Amino acid sequence: MQKRKLGNSGLEVSALGFGCMGLNFLDGKGLDKKEATTLLRNAVERGITFFDTAEAYGPYTNEEIVGEGLQPFRKDVVIATKFGCKDARPTTGLDSRPETIRAVTEASLKRLKTDYIDLLYQHRVDPNVPIEDVAGTVKDLIQEGKVKYFGLSEAGPKTIRRAHAVQPVAALQSEYSLFWTEPEKEIIPTLEELGIGFVPFSPLGKGFLTGTIKTKLEEVDRRNIIPRFSEENIKANLILVDALSKIAKQKNVTTGQLALAWLLAQKPWIAPIPGTTKLHRLEENIGSLDVVLTAGQLAEINNTVNGITVVGDRYPEVLAKQIDK
C-alpha cells in the first residue's frame, strides 16, 4: 500500500483511507457489528491504515464499531474522529465550546477503546466560538497526550489560517471530487501554502461517480435529503457519469477507479477516504492506486468536468448553513 504524508505535519497514512460513516449510518442498508468488523479488518489486511469516524455517525454507534473492529491493530492504524455537532446530531446545531470538546473527546476515547486519538477534527466551524479557542483546546489535549493531530472539516480559508496560527492544522477534511471541484479555487492553494494535508470525503460523489445510481434512490436511503439526489437531478447529472465512463473504458478501469485516481493525481498530500459496505468495492477502490493517468488524460477529464454543470445543492438547507466560507 502506498503511503502519504498529510502536509508538513508528519502524519503518515495509507494513500487511500476508509470513510466509516456508511458502515451503519448512511444509506439505510448498513452492516451489523460483526459484518462491519470483518470489513474493517479486511481493509487493514489490504494495507489501509487510515480510518475516519465521528461521534455524530449514529450517533455514537459508528465509533463503537470502529473501536472494536480496529482494536487488534490499534498501534498500526490512524483513527480520525470529530467533535462539534450539538448532542452529536448535525441537524440539531453546532457546539464547539471548550468544555464540550473535552467531554466529547473523553467519550470518544472510551467508544474507540483507545487512550489517544490520532486526528481530531472540528466537524463544522461553530460561529459562536472563536476558532482560536477551539484550536487552543485541542492544543491542550495534544499536550496531554489524548490527541496527536488537529484537523478541521469544511472550514474556509480565513478560519484555517486563524486556527493554524494557534495550533498547526494537520489536515482539512472537505468534500472534493469530480462531482464537486470547488476546493480548487481557494482551499487547495491555502492548504498548499500552509503545508496542510487534504482528506477529501465523498471522493466518489456519495456513490454517484461509481455509475451505479441510475434512477431515484430507495426510500430508506439517507441521501434522499440531498437536493443533488432528487430523481430529476440524478437524471440530469448522469451526463457527467456517462462522459467519465467513456474515458474509464479507454483505460480499462471502472468509473470509480478513474475518479479516485484523478483525486490522487492532484496533489501528493491528498488522501481520499471512500467508504463502502462491500468487500469487492473495497478491493475496487484500492485498485485505483495502480491507475496512472497521463497529463493528456488528466486534461481530458478536466475538460469533460468543466464542460458539464452539476445540478442540485450538495446539502439540504439546514446543513448548508453550517458550511464555513
Give a yes or no: residue 134 inside a domain.
yes
- 325 within a domain of the structure (yes/no): no
Residue 247: predicted pLDDT: 97
Q: For 7-23, what is each residue's pLDDT tens digit?
A: 999 999 999 999 999 99
Question: Is position 130 within any domain?
Answer: yes
Q: What percent of the chain has pLDDT over 90?
A: 94
Which is nearest to 164 in space by CA: 188, 142, 135?
135
- Catalytic-residue membership of 149: no
Of the candidates 263, 261, 213, 204, the one whose C-alpha atom is nearest the C-alpha of residue 237 is 213
pTM confidence score? 0.97
Could you list the beta-strand ranges (E) of the chain: 3-5, 12-14, 18-19, 50-52, 78-83, 117-122, 147-153, 169-175, 197-201
**Across 147-172, average pLDDT:** 98
Tell me whether residue 207 is in a domain: yes
For the residues 152-163, what does the mean pLDDT come to? 98
Active-site option among 57, 121, 149, 176: 57
Residue count (the chain): 325
Cell of 133: 479557542
**116, 142 in Cβ contact below 8 A?**
no
Q: How many domains does the chain have?
A: 1
pLDDT tens for 102-118 read: 999 999 999 999 999 99
Query: Rounded to an integer, what distance in angstroms lies between the CA atom of residue 148 and that of residue 258?
Result: 33
Task: Find the angle CA(157)-CA(313)-CA(21) to the nearest 5 degrees.
Answer: 75
Instruction: Tell me the CATH number at 192.
Output: 3.20.20.100
Whether 171 contacts 199, CB under 8 Å: yes
104 in a structural domain: yes
pLDDT of 132 higher than 60: yes
Domain encompassing residue 157: 3-320
Q: pLDDT band at residue 219, thresholds of 50, 70 and 90?
A: confident
Q: Does the CA dihedral 50-145-154-161 come out positive or negative? A: negative
Q: Is residue 262 part of a domain?
A: yes
pLDDT tens track for 64-94: 999 999 999 999 999 999 999 999 999 999 9
Is residue 279 in a domain? Answer: yes
Average model confidence (pLDDT) for the chain? 96
Is 124 within a domain?
A: yes
Tens digit of each residue's pLDDT (9 = 90 or more) over 236-285: 999 999 999 999 999 999 999 999 999 999 999 999 999 999 999 999 99
